[in-house]
Amino acid sequence: MKNERILLSSPHMSDEGYEQAFVKEAFDTNWIAPLGANVTGFENELADFVKTGHAAALVSGTSAIQMALKAAGVGKDDIVICQSLTFSATANPIIYQGAIPVFVDSDEETWNLDPRALKKALEKYPEAKAVIVVHLYGLSAQLDEIISLCEEYDVTLIEDAAESLGTTYKGRYTGTFGKYGVYSFNGNKIITTSGGGMLVSEDEERIEKVRFWSTQARDKARHYQHSEIGYNYRMSNIVAGIGRGQLKVLNDRIAKKNYIHEFYKRELSNISQISFMPENDWSKSNFWLSAIILDNIDPNYLMDELEKENIESRPIWKPMHMQPIFEEYDFIGTNIAEKLFETGVCLPSDTKMTEEDLYRVTNTIKRAIANAN
């Protein structure tokens, strides 16, 4: 009998049934469509958790990035500087806005936006309207240096914290340092609403404007009147109910992700061909995914060996400047991002994993590397 599949990161509903209680309330009160008590509650509770002023619940993290760009005044032919090592959902909204992405390399200390490369990008494109930094796999970028550069060049900082809900930088939650922060509740994230996102900011007026735009930009009138282009981007009351329940177990999920990471480190650190994602004293990661770097071992070989044991793994994100759709755009850096992609593997980090599952993963890796040597 084949072993049960071990997944990379899948939805994990609370044992207490918090999500079902909020969803049942939405059904019982017939608040099924967008807006309602759960939407408002989820916005307020998420903002309270990360200690920021205001939040807008939207259909995805992608739509939240687009609304952040729009709120920052980004439009046709504007320059947006964007971290290259990320998922395409970070970069696609730049194109939605008719803007021009300029991709920037990562540093080895954080795997995120390299402040040195960002400085070169801002020197080359001082007219840039926004900078998008990503906190990859829950790792915090070097925010002090990045914020300082954005202030020097008067450019809006947007944090893509889709993967880093619960991660702190110098004791403060990622997503709350830039003018705008974005979280994702996609099915694979640390908490999920099946699909959904949140835009946060201290700027109440801009968040109110995003709520307006994302509800088809309906003017206040008895009839349907529109003075601006709008979007159908508001989160539904059902989905928000799932999110409210998930927030109640977020700290438990962070603790389990950290346990998984520490387990991998304990079991695999003595293998010379394996190194782990960076950790820094000034940051505490949620370790959404645990990733390793391989030395003289083909990542595809290791992933194939894991797959033979019905264990899911993935490459590290392929950088945006290497993607066919984005290859025409400028890239600034020394190809650290490319090196990470070519040598990295994301290991199963599902919070439902048992210790037996974790040993299955690590024993398979040990066996595969021993056979490769």
> For residues 365 and 241, what is the distance between their CA atoms, to the nearest angstrom?
39
> Which sequence spans correspond to the domains of the chain?
18-247, 250-372
B/e letters for 198-209, b = 16+ CB within 10 Å, e = fewer, are bbbbeeeebbeb
Please give the span between the terminal C-alpha atoms of the chain, in angstroms, as a whole number. 30
CATH topology for 250-372 is Aspartate Aminotransferase, domain 1 (3.90.1150)
Digits of tens for pLDDT over the chain (373 positions)? 468 999 999 999 999 999 999 999 999 998 887 789 999 999 999 999 999 999 999 999 999 999 999 999 999 999 999 999 999 999 999 999 999 999 999 999 999 999 999 999 999 999 999 999 999 999 999 999 999 999 999 999 999 999 999 999 999 999 999 999 999 999 999 999 999 999 999 999 999 999 999 999 999 989 999 999 999 999 999 999 999 999 999 999 999 999 999 999 999 999 999 999 999 999 999 999 999 999 999 999 999 999 999 999 999 999 999 999 999 999 999 999 999 999 999 999 999 999 999 999 999 999 999 999 8
72-89 in b/e form (b: 16+ CB < 10 A) is: bebeeebbbbbbbbbbeb
pTM over 0.95: yes
In this prediction, residue 35 carries a pLDDT of 84
Structure tokens at 185: 């509740």
- At 233 the pLDDT is 97
The CA distance from 226 to 187, in Å, is 34
Contacts of 339 (CB under 8 A, 6+ apart): none
Helix (H) or strand (E) holding 25: helix 18-28
Rounded Cα distance, 342 and 197, in Å: 30
Strand partners, 337: none
Q: What is the CATH number of domain 18-247?
A: 3.40.640.10
Matching CATH topology for 18-247 and 250-372? Answer: no
Taking the C-alpha atoms of residue 6 and residue 306, their distance in angstroms, rounded to an integer, is 10
Q: Categorise residue 35: left if φ over 0, alpha if ψ from -120 to 50, beta otherwise.
A: left
